[in-house]
């Protein structure tokens, strides 16, 4: 079942190159769960097309299954370089082993991300504080979890 679903999924994603796989899970009792994302977001029609490409090519008489195709939700952590690249310009909350950073995703390369944010710091001379622009380059291997921050 795993191999057949994987082949069908790869074929369906090849037909729409802006979509990509985040996760594929098949439980022992054939519950199939596919999570996709897209460079331009994911429409309901995209989920339907992927679902049909898989469902219409599996035989329920041969093996019973359930199928769920979802888009990566806003609350889902980012996991692929492609997801970081599509979110450049948005605000992220990034957890590393030692700290949590919140800032605007300025850049995403194959090695890591660059975040920028404003911080209040004491003036170098005299009393009071000034606002300074901070920047941090975070390699992907140091990221424990990164989520897009939704503001209303």
| Residue-by-residue DSSP string for the chain | -HHHHHHHHHHHHHHSTTEEEEEEEE-TT-EEEEEEEEBTB--HHHHHHHHHHHHTTS-TTTS--EEEEEEPPTTSPP-SHHHHHHTTTSEEEEEESS-EEEEEEEEE-SSEEEEEEEEEEE-SSSSSEEEEEEEEEEEGGGEEEEEEPP--
The pLDDT tens digits along the chain (152 residues) read 889 999 999 999 999 999 999 999 999 999 999 999 999 889 999 999 999 999 999 988 888 999 999 998 877 899 999 999 999 999 999 999 999 999 999 999 999 999 999 999 999 888 999 999 999 999 999 999 999 998 77
What's the pLDDT score for residue 60? 86
What are the chain's domains?
Answer: 2-71 (3.30.300), 81-148 (2.30.30)
What's the pLDDT score for residue 120? 92
What's the pLDDT score for residue 6? 95
């Amino acid at each position: 079942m795993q191999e057949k679903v994987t082949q069908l999924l790869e074929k369906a994603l090849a037909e729409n190159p802006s979509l990509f796989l985040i996760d594929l899970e098949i439980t022992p009792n054939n519950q199939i769960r596919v999570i996709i994302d897209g460079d331009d977001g994911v429409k309901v029609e995209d989920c339907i097309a992927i679902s049909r490409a898989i469902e219409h090519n599996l035989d329920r008489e041969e093996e019973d299954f359930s199928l769920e195709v979802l888009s990566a939700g806003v609350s889902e952590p980012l996991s692929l370089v492609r997801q970081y690249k599509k979110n450049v310009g948005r605000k992220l909350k990034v957890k590393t082993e030692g700290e949590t950073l919140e800032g605007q995703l300025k850049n995403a390369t194959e090695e890591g991300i660059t975040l920028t944010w404003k911080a209040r710091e004491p003036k170098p001379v005299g009393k009071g504080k000034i606002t300074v622009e901070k920047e941090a380059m975070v390699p992907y291997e140091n990221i424990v979890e990164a989520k897009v921050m939704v503001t209303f």
